[in-house]
Amino acid sequence: MAHRVIISGGGTGGHIFPAIAIANALRRLEPDIEILFVGAKGRMEMDRVPAAGYEIIGLDIQGINRKSLMKNLSLPIKMLGSLLKARRVIRSFRADVAVGVGGYASGPLLMMAAGMGIPTLIQEQNSYAGVTNKRLGRKAKKICVAYEGMDKFFPKERLLLTGNPIRRSSVEIAGREREALASFGLKEGKKTILVTGGSLGAKTLNDCILEGLEKFSKRDIQVIWQCGNYYYEGLQQALDGRLGENVVLLPFLQRMDYAYAAADLVISRAGAGTISELCAVGKPVVLVPSPNVAEDHQTKNAQALVAKRAAVLVTDTSARTTLVDTVLDLLADESRCLELGTQIKSLAMLDADEVIAKEVLKLINR
């Protein structure tokens, strides 16, 4: 009889892509395995997971709204409803194991699974564990982490350092620089910067690049600028045809491998999944952590790299005045760029998806 695995979580690309990578690894190891995803209604996993070829069920759950207390009044009711639905899903699917990758849906699904005696595995992506995962970790059989020193959050004997699963197709860049530059209509021989604010875009990065385009133009630097769907139209209007041949503005990058291959330097937020891809790519990176995340975990992710001389950190509050000049100074310093690229590449853990998948299967076989 085929094994049955539930994978829960989502909310952002940083949670969804690792979840799909784990599912794909499980299928490679055990082709007849049955996999069901559980996500949060209205979040991007409800579209991205089916597009990857997997079934998903949505829970009516949300996170705590720190800006409007009134919007939190329905939280207890939604949590109760999600717990009850999670129990029905687990029973009807007859799950052998439940995997949580973070995001709203992980909490109720893994809490219910553990309470029903089903083994659970947590994949903690950040260097600072969130409140939900710390609670789930008390009953999880295995906690797979991407950073050292996570025993301050979880029982040491159940920890396994695996790294974060990444989209393998996104980091296979060897020998692709020429075709990558051509795909963006850019020229060989010029310094090229990739700016990415994650799947949703980042206002701070967009504002900085908009204000700094003239400085980049004076140095004849090319820019691949992924701004996010929400900001794309407004930026097009603000630029009013002033992009020029050196700047490519895109709402979303369909081919991250081309973007990484074309870049000499990357400006990015510091989400865990993005950092894991950047480690595999091995290019110099300037990280601007988002301040709008729980426990400020992006700053802690970035600091973990800075401590190993593997990235440069610019705070969100100082980015407007310092980011562009920091990037220009770094591009002019070839030895520093080489050191950053070498150091971040040394942190790559390329087989995290298969290592985690094997741990999931071990829990079933026990």
Tens-place pLDDT, residues 71-96: 666 677 878 888 899 999 999 999 99
> Would you kindly state where each structural domain of the chain is located, as residue ranges?
4-166+351-365, 169-345
Nearest CA to 163 out of 324, 279, 282, 6 is that of: 279
**Higher-confidence position of 308 and 78:** 308
User: Mean pLDDT in the chain?
Assistant: 91
**Higher-confidence position of 349 and 131:** 349
Model confidence at 147, in pLDDT bands (50, 70, 90)?
Answer: confident
Largest CA distance in the chain: 65
Q: What is the mean pLDDT of residues 298-317?
A: 95
Distance (Å, whole) CA 74 – CA 264: 48
Asked if residue 199 belongs to a known ligand binding site, the reply is yes
Q: Could you tell me where the DSSP H helices lie in 223-333?
A: 229-239, 256-262, 272-281, 297-306, 319-331
Give 236-262 pLDDT, tens digit per residue: 888 877 677 899 999 999 899 999 999
Q: Which CATH number fits domain 169-345: 3.40.640.10, 2.60.120.10, 3.40.50.2000, 3.30.360.10?
A: 3.40.50.2000
Asked if residue 126 belongs to a known ligand binding site, the reply is yes
Regarding the domain delimited by 4-166+351-365, which CATH topology (the fold level of the hierarchy) does it fall under? Rossmann fold (3.40.50)
Same fold, 4-166+351-365 and 169-345: yes
Asked if residue 14 belongs to a known ligand binding site, the reply is yes
CB 98 within 8 A of CB 337: no
Give 263-291 pLDDT, tens digit per residue: 999 999 998 889 999 999 999 999 999 98
DSSP state of 200: T
Q: In terms of C-beta density within 10 A (0-12 exposed, 13-18 middle, 19 or more buried), how is residue 241 classed?
A: exposed
